[in-house]
Structure 1
Amino acid sequence: MYATSPAESVHALDLDALRAPDITFYSAWDEQTLLGCGALRDLGDGHLEIKSMRAARAHRGRGTGAAILLHLLGAATRRGAVRISLETGVEDYFAPARRLYERHGFVVCEPFGGYRPDPNSVFMTREG
């Protein structure tokens, strides 16, 4: 994310942060090949946040991102989520991700959780 966004606007989690107790991390594999990953952060009161969602470069444009998102949404539903939110970038690099989220019912919203307004961020949410 540091290659596409200013450092102060990067909200990606490092490996230690992904090990936090409020994070559930998922990865998608085809035998020994990593296809992508994503995580859910529990914000409390039935509100979950999608974090660290990525499709491996070689698998972008093949439905990998949609499959990961559907898995995360299913996991959120099983956990009783009433709201699912995310933060992504405004740059053109993130346009395919924003379109994917919109196709799955996410709409632009105000910052949530500990986020503050950021001209380099787009905040999105949907009902669980």
Structure 2
Amino acid sequence: MKIKIDDLRSNQVVELIREHLHGMTLHSPPESIHALDLSSLQQPEITVWSVWEGEDLAGIGALKQLDDHHGEIKSMRTSKAYLRKGVAKRLLNHLIEEANSRGYKQISLETGSMEAFEPARKLYEAFGFQYCEPFADYTEDPNSLYMTKAL
């Protein structure tokens, strides 16, 4: 598998982002959806990576710079054909390594509190993320959980 910075022009990537956003609507009320659409992912403070197995997209993930010492993981999604094949672990490890190389002291994320998000929460816990209070522009929300990891 190859991980590369993505320009968000590939049809496969655009479709996976659409699938990600649609999936959020199935499990979260609109006011609690913090997933980013294609144009939001193209902001200068956000870098998106894609994971490829040959010509097949295996997943995507993004890192948003909150400030010089704090990053946020955004838009982690594995393609259906690659679920439970280690894509998310590889990508999360890559994002943490990138945050370290940027000199961040902390990396955080927001995820859903519902049962559908339990696999993601378990993954983050396995990587040493701990639950925390809302950060950046987030506020208390019963549908959201916040996690952080000191680097």
Give the TM interval when normalised to the shorter protein: over 0.9
Distance between the aligned counterparts of 2:132 and 2:112, measured in 1? Answer: 13
Aligned residue pairs: how many?
Answer: 128
Q: Give the aligned partner of residue 67 of structure 1.
A: 90
The Cα RMSD (Å) is 0.7
User: What letter matches 1:73 in structure 2?
Assistant: I
Q: Give the aligned partner of residue 42 of structure 1.
A: 65
Q: Give the aligned partner of residue 100 of structure 2.
A: 77
Distance between the aligned counterparts of 2:146 and 2:139, measured in 1? Answer: 10
Length-normalised TM-score, structure 2: 0.83
Q: Give the aligned partner of residue 28 of structure 2.
A: 5
**One of 98, 121, 131 as aligned partner of 1:108:** 131
**One of 74, 77, 100 as aligned partner of 1:51:** 74
**Runs of at least 5 residues in structure 1 that lack an aligned partner in the other structure:** none
> Hey, which bits of structure 1, 4+ residues long, moved more than 6 A?
none
Length-normalised TM-score, structure 1: 0.98
User: What letter matches 2:92 in structure 1?
Assistant: L
Question: Greater helix share, 1 or 2?
Answer: 2
